[in-house]
A and B are shown apart, each in its own frame.
Chain A
């Protein structure tokens, strides 16, 4: 018997747009603040990381619910849906790592400016 798998939650497209908006605003804010004060840049990055973690957890939750639904995989449409949500989750993870990378490289740039550690 073929069961229609439906998602009761935000669509993958909506989630992707929300995550992209958060990621772009977050990246611009963190990059801008790195020129002002690295500490504030880190706090801002942390804030955006929390928002992205919540979105990521929500998306992964949908992925697990989808894959454990009775009859999942009986149609190609199910698999397409699963892959789409997973791609959105990958994008969110990418944004989270990008923000963390900005802060880490920003820290090195600050060390350079301070001129610490020269032998």
Chain B
């Protein structure tokens, strides 16, 4: 035991960890769960990275068709013996149903992704209500946070496309349509993205590019931003407590505990609890692998995009596309300039009622669209392709297998 203690002390000394481990953390940030939600999102990111690494070894992107048996978790498909499915879908099928412990691996990845998105939304609203950016360096952290939130949603959609099931194809259709409408702002960003993809169709190259974006490019950017954010919190401190009385607030901020062992024990406990909840969800409510898509097939009625973007899909169908397509851009841009607009007043809830109202409006927009999207049945005729008005002539809004041109 003494040798272990000596080894621990040696590690702390030689790796210069003492300063980091003993940095003071305000007591209120340890006791108030509102200050842990960001940790949940960050932990989910690392869980996703680890499970994603294992999944990337087994996943094979590609559009070539193979025969695949039906999903045992999807009810009502037991009669069918085999489906035609793409190589991407077949490899996900093999991971999920024909690899020992592959089912758990994929389910942990899925539920962690959903937990991360949920934590990101909750973290955003909490920090908006608490006015966490109202301190030195808070604006920069807010900027990093909004960018990370946007990248998290993008990652969810990119990951959802990869198995090439019907829902994934719907997601890529919405994405490609979105890029067409970026040209309304006078800058051909959408066309640039489409040129980078090299095709308006779902091809092997497009899927590979989405795969690389999902496993390498976006996570790398997120890792850098997350590093900057953790660094900012480490040296800039956590956001002030929502207390109106200045004397009491100052007192709360001065009451500190060392990171190790206090916050460290709490963080370890939180990580274990989070993993426990994820595994319980895997055991109790496993998510089935959805129905496969074959190149050229139209997405049938009733297929819905993943819930983090469900609200957007609902608005694209309901409202004029000129407004609805720009809605998320407006929401993100407004979120980015919040620290510039909110310069007066204190940090207590009573003094911040306008920003509480703004947060409620955000929650209402996203929540209403999400709930409505799941409640209202989607008729076959109204898909994002048919509802959106006529696109510019130079872009072809057709998703399918490219036909060979010439002899």
On A, residues with C-beta under 8 Å from B are 60, 63-64, 66-68, 72-73, 76, 79-80, 82-83, 86-91, 93-95, 97-98, 100-105, 107-108, 111-112, 117-119
Contact = CB atoms under 8 A, between A and B. Distances in A.
Contacts of A100: 272
B interface secondary structure, majority: helix
Interface of B: 24, 27, 30-31, 69-70, 72-73, 78, 97-101, 103-104, 107, 255-258, 261-262, 265-266, 268-270, 272-273, 275-280, 282-284, 286
Contacts of B258: 117, 119
Contacts, number: 112
29 contacts: A64-B100, A73-B97, A73-B98, A79-B69, A79-B72, A79-B98, A80-B72, A82-B103, A86-B101, A86-B104, A89-B101, A90-B104, A93-B279, A94-B276, A94-B279, A94-B283, A95-B276, A97-B273, A98-B272, A101-B270, A102-B269, A104-B265, A104-B269, A104-B272, A105-B270, A105-B273, A111-B262, A118-B27, A118-B256
Nearest to B25: A117
Given A94-B276, A103-B269, 20 more contacts: A63-B100, A73-B97, A76-B78, A80-B72, A82-B103, A83-B73, A83-B286, A86-B104, A90-B280, A97-B279, A98-B272, A98-B273, A101-B276, A104-B272, A107-B261, A108-B266, A111-B257, A111-B261, A119-B24, A119-B258
A88 B280 CA distance: 10
A18 to B, nearest CB: 14
B101 A63 contact: yes
A101 B101 CA distance: 23
A66 B255 CA distance: 56
The 7 closest A-B pairs by CB, nearest first: A104-B269, A94-B279, A101-B272, A91-B283, A105-B269, A97-B276, A101-B273
Given A90-B107, A107-B261, A101 B98 contact: no
